Structure 1
Amino acid sequence: MPKPDLLCLVQLLDNTIQTFTVNKQDAGEVLLEQVCNQLGLQERHFFSLQLRDSNTTIVAQTHSPRWLEANKPLKKQLKGVVSPFYLTLRVRFFISDPNSLQHDQTRHMYFLQIRSDIREGRLKCPLSAAVVLASYAVQSELGDYSPDLLPGYLSKSHFLPEQDDDFLSRVEALYPGHRGLKQSEAELCFLNTARTLELYGVELHNAIVSTSVCLPLTLPSDAPL
């Protein structure tokens, strides 16, 4: 077998970074398969990898990063890019009904993706819906509310690009009502709330309409670019 000669650093949906090695002759799907195997993802057709320019941009959010093409050799897609190569795992295809997803791990990845999109401002969310979503996220991460939690226990939690104490107080008030929900159940409730958002499953891309004007363009997440 040829010796692996491409080092790829992939940022996962929990923001950890994992290292993978592939051959330059391999197609993009080989790397994606490695990542999905590492995570135990079975419904991998919903996911893909996005290319980043360098380690300085792996955690930065850009409007129109390139998707790794599944059937194209990596050496052609990474041409001109210095090793190691930086990519991010993302949900590429958003299903309209999250209840149709077959595996908890897939729903968990959807949950992480949407929470990140809301937190980073990529998915706009009315404040009332944001409170509900955040309360389910807290239930997922902390489990049932306990009176032993100290006041301000959410003070370091980040749910929105801009949030204030009033927002966190509303989340804290709603969270105890989710008692009894398991992590997977709380995340499914989160997804069923998120699916009602106007821009659920839509990506924003920059469209240049003149030499000096750049406007955001909304496209379904599965639209060809």
Structure 2
Amino acid sequence: MKMLRFRSPSVSSLAQEVQCTVRLLDDSEISCSIQRDTKGQFLLDHVCNQYSLLEKDYFGIRYVDPEKQRHWLDPSKPVVKQMKCQQAYTMCFRVKFYPQEPIKIKEELTSEPSEQIV
């Protein structure tokens, strides 16, 4: 399990941070501390960078609300505002879109399963 801390340069208070865990495609996890104003796109970019994915449009981060409904994390909104009433910020990195013509995928890492992405 990897522990990362994402900090905005303008805010240094630990009281402004929340803990979250992102479960990856291979069931490993990334635990991180994020600022209250960290947007979903920042978290998605970080996870995609872990896999060196360039075609990020096919992937997303999903969470389950207290009513057991699944939602995709909106990249343009702060993570904290989307998961407002949850104590544990646990999310999953998932395939969001499957292309109609997989042959047109440009990156080999995206189109072919590897040991990292299964």
Q: Which runs of 5+ in 1 are unaligned?
A: 55-61, 113-225
Establish whether residue 35 from structure 1 lines up as the match of residue 47 from structure 2.
Answer: yes
More strand by share: 2
Q: Which amino acid aligns with 1:69?
A: D
Runs (4 or more) in structure 1 with deviation over 6 Å come to: none
Residue identity (%): 27
Residues 19-39 of structure 1: per-residue CA shift (max 9 Å, x gap): 133211121111111111111
Q: Which runs of 5+ in 2 are unaligned?
A: 1-8
Counterpart-to-counterpart distance in 1, 2:87 and 2:22? 15
Q: Residue 82 of structure 2: which of 68, 77, 84 is its match?
A: 77
Q: Residue 61 of structure 2: which of 41, 49, 52 is its match?
A: 49
Residues 37-65 of structure 1: per-residue CA shift (max 9 Å, x gap): 111111011110001358xxxxxxx7x51
Counterpart secondary structure, 1:50? strand
Q: Residue 106 of structure 2: which of 94, 102, 122 is its match?
A: 102
C-alpha root-mean-square deviation of aligned residues, in Å?
Answer: 2.2
Q: What residue is the counterpart of 1:90 in the other structure?
A: 94
After the TM superposition, which residues 155-170 of structure 1 pair with which residues of structure 2 at under 5 Å, given as runs?
Answer: none
Structure of greater Rg = 1
Counterpart-to-counterpart distance in 2, 1:97 and 1:42? 18
Establish whether residue 25 from structure 1 lines up as the match of residue 29 from structure 2.
Answer: no
Deviation at 1:103, TM superposition (A): 1.4
Counterpart secondary structure, 1:38? helix
- The answer (yes or no) to whether the contact 1:20–1:34 under 8 Å persists in 2 is no
Cα 1:94–1:43 change in 2 (3 A) is same
